Structure 1
Amino acid sequence: MEYTNLGRSGLSVSRLVLGTMNFGPETSEEDSRTIMDRAHEHGINFFDTANVYGRTKGEGITEQIIGRWFASGDGRRERTVLATKLYGSMGDWPNENRLSALNIRRAAEGSLRRLQTDYLDLYQMHHIERSTPFDEIWEAFSVLRQQGKVLYFGSSNFAGWHLAQAQESALRRHMLGLVSEQSLYNLFSRWVELEVLPAARHYGLGVIPWSPLHGGLLGGILRKQRENDAARSAGGPAAAALAERRDTIEAYEKLAADLGEDPANLALAWLLHQDGVTGPIIGPRTLAQLDNSLRSVEIKFDEKTLATLDELFPAPGPNGAQPAPEAYAW
């Protein structure tokens, strides 16, 4: 496994991030524990979760599964860089969601209890809060840090403008501020290249892409359909996107086959080659999926392959692959 610093921080994290959203709803607790143990065997030390994962409001089922795994000992907690999130609703009463100082305190205490730990390595805002000023947010976060309950803070689903707002507010308070941003980013969805990536690089934030396979469309979906193994990836929005972009996906899977690589690993490796990306979140439901993903760290691209991928999945913006502000003006 390769490691890198999380943004401008001194925190060393694996270049693949273990996503745990399936733990509970899709993957049994026994299988989840086996996957986490195998992740450590592979050297994956960066685990991502959220207080709302588990589908049952207020229960934090996924955090509970991880907490019981930590409680089984053998240095599991000490070897893990633990990231969780707050924002989503954990109850039906006011102040049980979003980013008020009250909910930040309650949400942090709840996550610590469920995860059976006394500190969080990375605490992430799951979404921008438009009705709470950053001065209030940073004051509440600073209390958590002073208490030793949180070491670093991050964001998720922020626009570039939000990153600038958050960081400038933190700087005024002489705080480190954010060290990471978790965004939707993959070959199909490259919009973060316009504003989010440039802002993150400017402020020294590591970018953590979620949905790196775009709901399974970049994971060899056509091959799986031929093998009758794509039921989970071919429904809902993925089915509509597949119908719309079938020619592109066929060309992509052919490119992967010509290179002798799994399409999923090709998509992960492409993200690992993007400037500012710390590591994509992988969400394996089986040990085989986890084991297979390790190959992505080893894949190297030549200029021809990168150019082909750009042709298949063009960069967004009126001026092509230019970041802001060049994307809008010369």
Structure 2
Amino acid sequence: MEYTHLGRSGLSVSRLVLGTMNFGPETTEPDSYTIMDRAHEHGINFFDTANVYGWQKGEGVTEQIIGRWFAQGDGRREKTVLATKLYGSMGDWPNDTFLSALNIKRAVEGSLRRLNTDYIDLYQMHHVDRNTPWEEIWEAFSVLRQQGKVLYFGSSNFAGWHLAQAQEAAKARHFLGLVSEQSIYNLLTRWIELEVLPAARHYGLGVIPWSPLHGGLLGGAIRKERDGTGSRATKGRSGDALGTHRPAIESYEKLCADLGADPATVGLAWVLHQEGVTGPIVGPRTVEQLDNSLDALELKLDTETLAKLDELFPPPAPNGAKPAPEAYAW
């Protein structure tokens, strides 16, 4: 396993992140235990979850599964860099959602209880709260840090200027601030290259891409469709994107075949090649899917292949791969 520091922090994390969103809704609890044990066997130490995962309001189903796995002992908690999130609704009352100091206090206590731990390594804001001032957020977070309940803080789904707001407010308080940003990022969705990636690099934040295969669309969706083995990659948002980008994805799968690599491996490897990326989140439903994801760490993409991928899935700007503001100006 390869390891790197999470942003400018001294925290060492694996370059693949185990996503747990399927634990409960898609993957049984015993199978979830097996996947987490296998992740440790592979040296994956960075696990990502959220208080809303499991999609039963207020229950924190996925956190509970992880907590019962920790309770089995044998160093499971100690070996894990545990990341969870708050923001989403955990109840029907006004202060059960968002980033008020009150909800931060309640949310962290709920996650600690469900996760069967006394501290969280990385506590992430799941989304921007435009109605709560940064002074309130950082004050609440600083209390958690002083209490030893949280060690590091991160964001998710922030724009570049939100990262700047957060970091400048933290700097004014002489506080470490954010160490990471979790964004959707893959060959089909490259918007963060305009502002978020540059901002993250400037402030020393590690970037943790979610949906690195765009809901399975970059994992051989056309081949699976042809073989009758496709599932979520041909449904919902991914299905709509497949209709729009079919020619590019067909060419992509041919390129992967020419490389002798599985499309999912190439898609993950491409994300790993991007400057500023700590590691993509892989969300396996089975042990086999987890095992296969490790091939991406071994696949090195040369400049010619990276250029071909840029041709198939261009950067999100009319002026090519230039940074903002040149990307949309002159």
Alignment RMSD (CA, Å):
0.7
2:122 aligned with 1:119: no
TM-superposed deviation, 1:60? 0.1
Q: SS of the counterpart of 1:233?
A: helix
1:140 aligns with 2:146: no
Which secondary structure does the structure 2 equivalent of 1:85 belong to?
strand
Aligned partner of residue 233 in structure 2, secondary structure: coil
What residue in structure 2 maps to residue 41 of structure 1? 41
For residues 87 and 311 of structure 1, what CA distance do their matches in structure 2 show?
37
For residues 188 and 19 of structure 2, the distance between their equivalents in structure 1, rounded to whole angstroms, comes to 20
Secondary structure of 2:93's counterpart equals coil
CA distance in 1, matches of 2:318, 2:177: 32
For the Cα contact (< 8 Å) 2:212–2:267, is it kept in 1? yes
Give me the whole-angstrom Cα distance separating, in 1, the residues matched to 2:297 and 2:59. 35
1:122-172 Cα shifts (integer Å, max 9, x gaps): 000000010000000000000000000000000000000000000000000
Map of 2:58 onto structure 1: 58
1:70 aligns with 2:70: yes
Residues paired across the two proteins, number: 330
Q: Structure 1-normalised TM-score? A: 0.99
1:217 matched residue in structure 2:
217
| Cα offset, 1:236, TM superposition | 1.6
| TM-score, normalised via structure 2 length | 0.99
Hey, what does 1:263 align to over in structure 2? 263
1:316 aligns with 2:312: no
Q: Any gaps of 5 or more consecutive residues in structure 1?
A: none
Aligned twin of 1:304: 304
Does the 8 Å CA contact 2:215/2:232 hold for their aligned counterparts? no
Cα displacement string for residues 201-242 of structure 1 (whole angstroms, at most 9, x for unaligned residues)? 000000000000101110001111122110232112222211
Partner Cα separation in structure 2 for residue 224 and residue 148 of structure 1: 47
Question: What secondary structure sits across from 2:114 in the alignment?
Answer: helix
1:171 correspondence with 2:167: no
Structure 2 unaligned regions, length at least 5: none
Q: Percent identity?
A: 78
CA distance in 2, matches of 1:152, 1:325: 31
1:204 has 2:207 as partner: no
| Deviation (angstroms), 1:323 | 1.4
1:279 lines up with 2:294 in the alignment = no
The one-character-per-residue Cα deviations of 1:233-278 (angstroms, maximum 9, x if unpaired) are 2112222211221111110000001001010010000000000000
**Secondary structure of the residue that 1:13 maps to in structure 2?**
strand
The letter of the residue matching 1:29 is E
- The amino acid across from 1:15 in the alignment is R
What is the alpha-carbon distance in structure 2 between the residues aligned to residue 245 and residue 198 of structure 1?
Answer: 27
Which ranges of 4 or more aligned residues in structure 1 deviate by more than 3 Å? none
| Cα separation, 1, equivalents of 2:265 and 2:312 | 17
Rounded Cα–Cα distance in structure 2 between residues aligned with 1:231 and 1:15: 27
Opposite residue 189 of structure 2, the aligned amino acid is: S
